[in-house]
């Protein structure tokens, strides 16, 4: 799942963490995201400490979905060498990002794909990465780096 550092609960006010922690099913994730949507529609988001930037709750919802899937599939996936993970790829110069952010120095998607493919092809047997939010490192070409904690 292409996620973001914004998918860490660190990006969300602590009072809201409970809405995304320990969700059991994808329907639970859907309900949590829809509840946020409804609060925004009602004009109550700021009063409840929801961030203005839509990217944060949407990426937290993505990471929560990955964690639910990972919990459900972990044993079988690790047996078969399948990796499910949320990826924080860092800034990438794309049509979407260019409209909103300064892309100076940001690599193109094909460059970022190299560590992503390394992760997919080399790390499937590393249980430490399974279900995690993973930061793609660019210090050394072709390698992934740090785990970004959920909180």
Ligand X SMILES: NC(=O)c1ccc[n+]([C@@H]2O[C@H](COP(=O)([O-])OP(=O)(O)OC[C@H]3O[C@@H](n4cnc5c(N)ncnc54)[C@H](OP(=O)(O)O)[C@@H]3O)[C@@H](O)[C@H]2O)c1
**Residues at the site binding ligand X, with contacts judged by CB under 6 A:** 2, 4, 89, 91-92, 94-97
Q: Could you tell me which residues come within 8 angstroms of residue 87 by beta carbon, excluding any fewer than 6 positions away? A: 1, 2, 3, 116, 119, 133, 134, 136
Q: Please say which residue, 4 or 8, places its beta carbon nearer to ligand X.
A: 4
Nearest distance from C-beta of residue 115 to ligand X, angstroms: 13
Which residue bears the tokens 């493919």?
117
Burial string for 61-70 (b: 16+ CB within 10 Å, else e) reads bbbbbbbbbb
Q: Give the whole-angstrom CA distance, residue 75 versus residue 51.
A: 35
Q: Please say which residue, 68 or 86, places its beta carbon nearer to ligand X.
A: 86
Q: Please say which residue, 40 or 103, places its beta carbon nearer to ligand X.
A: 103
Nearest distance from C-beta of residue 92 to ligand X, angstroms: 4
Half-sphere exposure of residue 77: CA atoms within 13 angstroms, side-chain side: 17
Q: Please say which residue, 2 or 127, places its beta carbon nearer to ligand X.
A: 2
Nearest distance from C-beta of residue 47 to ligand X, angstroms: 26
Beta bridge partners of 86: 133
Any idea what DSSP says for residue 52?
Answer: S
Nearest distance from C-beta of residue 88 to ligand X, angstroms: 7
């Amino acid at each position: 799942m292409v996620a973001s550092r914004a998918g860490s609960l660190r990006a969300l006010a602590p009072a809201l963490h409970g809405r995304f922690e320990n969700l059991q099913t994808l329907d639970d994730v859907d309900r949590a995201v829809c509840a946020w949507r409804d609060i925004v529609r009602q004009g109550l988001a700021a009063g409840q400490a929801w961030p203005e930037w839509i990217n944060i709750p949407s990426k937290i919802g993505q990471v929560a979905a990955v964690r639910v899937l990972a919990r459900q599939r972990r044993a079988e996936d690790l047996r078969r060498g399948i990796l499910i993970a949320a990826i924080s790829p860092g800034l990438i110069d794309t049509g979407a990002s260019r409209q909103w952010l300064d892309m100076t120095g940001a690599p193109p998607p094909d460059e970022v794909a190299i560590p992503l493919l390394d992760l997919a092809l080399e790390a499937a047997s590393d249980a430490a990465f399974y279900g995690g939010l993973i930061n793609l490192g660019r210090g050394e070409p072709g390698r992934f780096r740090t785990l970004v904690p959920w909180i």
